[in-house]
Amino acid sequence: DSGVTQTPKHLITATGQRVTLRCSPRSGDLSVYWYQQSLDQGLQFLIHYYNGEERAKGNILERFSAQQFPDLHSELNLSSLELGDSALYFCASNPELAGNNEQFFGPGTRLTVL
């Protein structure tokens, strides 16, 4: 158990819908990263938040957005869903801003878009 929690574990929805994925980092970790794992693209970085502020964006679609709240949990919002958004979404946390530290991964949310 990494100490990072994600809910829900599974999500099945239809095209065009909107969903919210939630991540609670390890106690004391200020950085939250979101990654998408799909069969064709592999593991890709989406977005990074540090202490409530967006710090970096990766291959994140405009239909996707995220935020980090004062209690440091984070939410990833996916809207106008398409079949191709079906993937495993992981969040990871670490205590620092930069990469000089291990990231601890949550169990992931498996999103299926029908």
Partner 1 sequence: AQSVSQHNHHVILSEAASLELGCNYSYGGTVNLFWYVQYPGQHLQLLLKYFSGDPLVKGIKGFEAEFIKSKFSFNLRKPSVQWSDTAEYFCAVTRYGGSQGNLIFGKGTKLSVKP
| SS3 state at 27 | coil
User: What backbone phi and psi angles, to 5 degrees, belong to 55?
Assistant: -115, -30
Taken in order 59, 61, 62, 67, is the CA torsion positive or negative? negative
Check if the beta carbon of residue 74 is closer than 8 Å to that of residue 67: yes
Q: Which is nearer to partner 1, 9 or 14 (CB)?
A: 9
The SS3 assignment for 60 reads coil
Q: What angle do CA 54, 94, 70 make, to 5 degrees?
A: 50
DSSP string, 62-74: TTEEEEE-TTS-E
Considering the complex, state which of residue 80 and residue 101 has its C-beta at the smaller distance from partner 1: 101
Supply the minimum distance, in Å, between the C-beta of residue 110 and partner 1. 10
**Which residues here bind partner 1, judged by CB under 8 A?**
2, 31, 33, 35, 42-45, 48, 55-56, 58, 90, 92, 94, 96-108
Cβ-based nearer residue to partner 1, 19 or 47: 47
* CB closer to partner 1 out of 94 and 113: 94
